[in-house]
């Protein structure tokens, strides 16, 4: 494993390059610096996770990369290699699926928007519904599904586009521990067959190690990149690595760094809530 204190090196073949990106929010007369001078790259086919305390700007960065929010300063470059393919899909923490559409209709959403003929769209949706383990639920409505099943729908809807870049913001945070493990294992397998680039935001160091090639640790607000770790486990990954000593040692090393930031963020929050 390698640790660099200034993870700013950007390979020429990066899929995504974030250069000196800052984002400030102004609300009700107060100003929040959510992210300050962030530098990050994601290689082609690389799985990068972001971990950091609450409020350090992870979602803000992901939304800027997705093009949903503009940086206050700095630049973000994303290379669209194959314009016949979709560039980017996003999976959010909360199940962002439409209750009035069936599973198939939800999964087909991006395909419909791209003008893919219904028959082709249905076939591609059916394939992904099966791959995420929802066989038999194609015609079901979200209200009849469990939380884990809804998140599988969101995953299938993102993956059916076969995007070059997949952005995931704590996609498994709302799931119970067992379901989360199942979906993590499924995501490992899916990623290893698709080989697209992924940026994954999580509060779980274990999840980050299991899934990623590289983990970027962020500091408390204003978010900066504090360190990065290369995950040493080979692919295809056997989920049994979870119980290896090397896994535990890496988890502890990352936690030792993150702990101070989590404490700093908690102190910051209690100051904000304290009487003047």
Ligand X SMILES: Nc1ncnc2c1ncn2[C@@H]1O[C@H](COP(=O)(O)OP(=O)(O)OP(=O)(O)O)[C@@H](O)[C@H]1O
* Contact residues: ligand X, CB under 6 A: 25, 27, 32, 34, 52, 54-60, 221
Nearer to ligand X (CB atom), residue 58 or residue 157: 58
Q: Least separation, in Å, of the C-beta of 52 and ligand X?
A: 6
User: E strands within 44-140?
Assistant: 47-51, 73-78, 88-91
Interaction between residue 219 and Mg ion (CB under 5 A): no
Nearer to Mg ion (CB atom), residue 59 or residue 212: 59
Q: Least separation, in Å, of the C-beta of 91 and Mg ion?
A: 13
Interaction between residue 60 and Mg ion (CB under 5 A): no
| Residue 27 interacts with, from ligand X, Mg ion, none (CB under 5-8 Å by kind) | ligand X
CA distance 131 to 37: 39
Strand partners, 215: 49, 229
Query: For residue 237, is the peptide bond before it cis, meaning its omega torsion is within 30 degrees of 0?
Result: no
| Residue 56 interacts with, from ligand X, Mg ion, none (CB under 5-8 Å by kind) | ligand X
Strands 47-51 and 214-218: parallel
Nearer to ligand X (CB atom), residue 107 or residue 215: 215
| Residue 55 interacts with, from ligand X, Mg ion, none (CB under 5-8 Å by kind) | ligand X
Which of 53-61, 150-158, 178-186, 205-213 is the region at the interface with Mg ion (rule: CB under 5 A)? 53-61
Tokens of 109: 């959403």
Nearer to ligand X (CB atom), residue 107 or residue 218: 218
Exposed/middle/buried for 37, CB within 10 Å: 0-12, 13-18, 19+?
Answer: middle
User: E strands within 28-141?
Assistant: 30-43, 47-51, 73-78, 88-91
Nearer to ligand X (CB atom), residue 111 or residue 211: 211
Cα 208 to Cα 17, 78, 82: the distances in Å are: 20, 23, 28
Provide CB contacts within 8 A for 19, sequence distance 6+: 10, 39, 74, 75, 76, 77
Residue found by looking up tokens 């409020």 in the block? 55
Q: Least separation, in Å, of the C-beta of 32 and ligand X?
A: 5
CA distance 218 to 195: 25
Nearer to ligand X (CB atom), residue 56 or residue 107: 56
| Residue 221 interacts with, from Mg ion, ligand X, none (CB under 5-8 Å by kind) | ligand X
Q: Least separation, in Å, of the C-beta of 60 and Mg ion?
A: 8
Interaction between residue 197 and Mg ion (CB under 5 A): no
Residues in the chain: 276
What track of x and - describes contact with Mg ion for positions 4 through 43 (by CB under 5 A)? ----------------------------------------
Tokens of 25: 């929010």
Q: Least separation, in Å, of the C-beta of 68 and Mg ion?
A: 13
Interaction between residue 59 and Mg ion (CB under 5 A): yes
Strand partners, 174: none
Nearer to ligand X (CB atom), residue 3 or residue 25: 25
Q: Least separation, in Å, of the C-beta of 57 and Mg ion?
A: 8
Query: For residue 164, is the peptide bond before it cis, meaning its omega torsion is within 30 degrees of 0?
Result: no
Residues in contact with Mg ion by the rule CB under 5 A = 59
């Amino acid at each position: 494993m390698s640790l660099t204190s200034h993870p700013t090196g950007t390979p020429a073949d990066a899929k995504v390059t974030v250069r000196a990106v800052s984002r400030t929010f102004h609300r009700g007369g107060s100003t929040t610096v959510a992210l300050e001078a962030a530098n990050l790259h994601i290689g082609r086919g690389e799985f990068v996770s972001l971990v950091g305390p609450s409020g350090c700007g992870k979602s803000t960065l992901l939304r800027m990369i997705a093009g949903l929010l503009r940086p206050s300063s700095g630049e973000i470059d994303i290379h669209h290699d194959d314009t016949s393919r979709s560039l980017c899909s996003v999976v959010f923490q909360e199940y962002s699926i439409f209750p009035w559409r069936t599973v198939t209709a939800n999964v087909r959403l991006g395909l419909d928007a791209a003008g893919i003929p219904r028959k082709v769209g249905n076939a591609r949706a059916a394939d992904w519904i099966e791959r995420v383990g929802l066989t038999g639920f194609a015609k079901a409505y979200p209200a009849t599904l469990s939380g884990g099943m809804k998140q599988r729908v969101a995953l299938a809807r993102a993956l059916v586009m076969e995007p070059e870049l997949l952005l995931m913001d704590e996609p498994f945070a709302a799931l119970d521990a067992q379901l989360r493990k199942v979906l993590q294992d499924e995501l490992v397998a899916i990623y290893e067959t698709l080989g697209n680039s992924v940026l994954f935001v999580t509060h779980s160091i274990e999840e980050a190690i299991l899934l990623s090639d590289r983990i970027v640790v962020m500091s408390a607000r204003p978010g900066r990149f504090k360190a990065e770790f290369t995950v040493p486990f080979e692919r295809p990954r056997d989920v049994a690595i979870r119980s290896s000593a090397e896994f535990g040692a890496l988890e502890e090393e990352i936690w030792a760094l993150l702990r101070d930031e989590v404490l700093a963020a908690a102190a910051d929050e209690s100051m904000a809530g304290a009487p003047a």
